[in-house]
Amino acid sequence: MIERYSLPEMSEIFSDESKFRRYLEIELLATSAHSELGIVPRDHAQVCRDRAPKIDSEFVSAVSERERVTDHDVAAFVDVVQQRIGMPAGAWIHHGLTSSDVVDTAWCWMLRDAAVLIDRALVDFYEVVVLLAEKHRNTVMIGRTHGIHAEPTTFGAKVALWALQLRRDRERLATATQRIGVCKLSGAVGTYSNIDPQIELSVAKALGLTPVPATQVIARDRHAEYLWACASIGTTIETIAVELRHLQRTEVNEVREGFAAGQKGSSAMPHKRNPISSETLTGLSRVLRANLQVGLQDVALWHERDISHSSAERIVLPDSSMLAYYMLRRATKLMTNLEVDSARMIKNLNSSHGVIFSQSVLLALVASAMSRDDAYRLVQELAARAITESCQFRELLAADNRITLSAKQLDEIFDLEKSVKHTNRVFDALASAQS
C-alpha cells in the first residue's frame, strides 16, 4: 500500500521485519515442541532459542541476498536462520515442516492481529456515528428517493441506520476473524507424514490460533471471507460518503465537511470547499471490492496446492487490511468534524411548497370515500401546479371545491412533527443492538 493511505500501526504488522519475526517464532516454537516429544535434543532446542537472530533491516537484507541464490523466499529465510544459530543445533530449524506451514500460519497470525486493529477503529467510528445520530434525533430534513423530495425524515434517523449497518459489519468482521485465526503445521499435502500432530497443537496454543485440517495450504475461503469483511466495511463507509457528498452539493448545502484553518479547497478557485474526504473514501472502497474479487479467485487451487494465490495475496491481504483501517480512521475524523445545517434542511424541505405531504392528502381523500385513482389524479394535478406556479400546495387544496377535507384535517395532514413521530423506532433498534 502506498504511504498516503497507510497508518504506521497497521503497516508494521505487514512489514518484512514483522513477518520474519513471526516466521522465526513459529520455527522456534515448533523446534521446542519437537524437543518435548524427544525428537530434538532439549539442549539443541534451547540453543536455537538463545541464539535466535535479531530480526532487523540487516537480517531482511541477508535473506534477500540469499534468495537470489535459492530463488525461494522461505528456504532463504531458513538458510540464514540456521547459519546464524550455528550447527549442530541450527539443523533442527524447519524440521518436518514445509514452507506453507510457516507462511500460512504467519499470514493467519498477521491477519488476526490486523483484524483486532480494524475492530478497534470500527468501534471508534461506530461510537462517533451514534453520538451524531443522537444529537440530531429530532433534526427534521427532507427524505429523498431517486434524488427527488419524498417525505420528511430526520437526519438522526438517517445516521442511526448507518450505525446499525456498522454493527452488522462488526459482526461480519468477528466471524471472519474467528475463521482466519487458524494455523496448520501438517507438512507436505497436510498428512502429518513427517511431523507429529502434537507439534501443530503446541504451536497453535502458544500463538492463540486454532489448528485446522488442511492440504499443503490453509483453504483460501477463509482469506476470502476476511477480504469480504474488509470490503463490506468499505462499502458501508462509501454509503455514508456518497450521501454526504450529495448533501454537500451547493444546491443542497445541508452538511459540510470540516474545513481546517489554512486548508485550500482548490488550487485555482479560492471559494471552493469540496467534500474531499467523502470522495477519497468512495474511491478507496472500490479497491477493497476489487481485492475481494482476487480473494475469491484465489480459493480454487490445483490439487493439494499451487502458488497462483501467493503473489496476489502479497498485495491484496496487506492492502485491504491497511485500507479498511485507514478508511475507518479517516471516516471517524470526517464525522467528528461534520457540520450539519439544520436551518438549511428546513429551508430545503419547505422549498417544494408542501407537496411532500401528498401521500397523506391522498390517503385522507380515500378515507372520505373517493376512489384511489381519482384521488391520486387530483392530488397529482394540484401538486404539479404548486411546483410550477411556486404556490403553496395546502392553499390550492383549501381553494379547490373537489377537495372535501376540513381545515382541521389539513392541519393534521401538514403537521411536520406528526409526520416524523415514528422515526425514533430506529433508535429503539439501535439501543437494542447496543445492549
Which residues does the annotation mark as catalytic?
146, 266
Give the whole-angstrom CA distance, residue 299 versus residue 218.
10
Q: Which set of grid coordinates corresponds to residue 288?
A: 477493497
List the one residue out of 379, 354, 377, 353 whose CA is nearest residue 364. Answer: 379
What are the backbone dihedrals phi and psi of residue 116, each rounded to the nearest 5 degrees, phi first?
-60, -45
CA torsion through residues 278, 279, 280, 286, sign: positive
CA torsion through residues 348, 351, 352, 357, sign: positive
Partner residues linked to 343 by β-bridges: none
208: left (phi over 0), alpha (psi -120 to 50) or beta: left
Amino acid at 420: V
What is the dihedral angle through the alpha carbons of 419, 422, 423, 428, rounded to the nearest 10 degrees?
170
What is the dihedral angle through the alpha carbons of 239, 240, 243, 244, rounded to the nearest 10 degrees?
-150
Give the whole-angstrom CA distance, residue 421 versus residue 365.
22
Contact call for residues 211 and 265 (beta carbons, < 8 A): no
Give the whole-angstrom CA distance, residue 88 versus residue 44.
8
User: Using CB atoms within 10 A of its CB, is residue 138 exposed (0-12), middle (13-18) or buried (19+)?
Assistant: middle
Give the whole-angstrom CA distance, residue 62 versus residue 58.
6
H-type alpha helices, 37-146: 42-50, 57-70, 73-85, 99-135
Helix (H) or strand (E) holding 9: helix 8-13
List the one residue out of 370, 369, 361 whose CA is nearest residue 398. Answer: 361
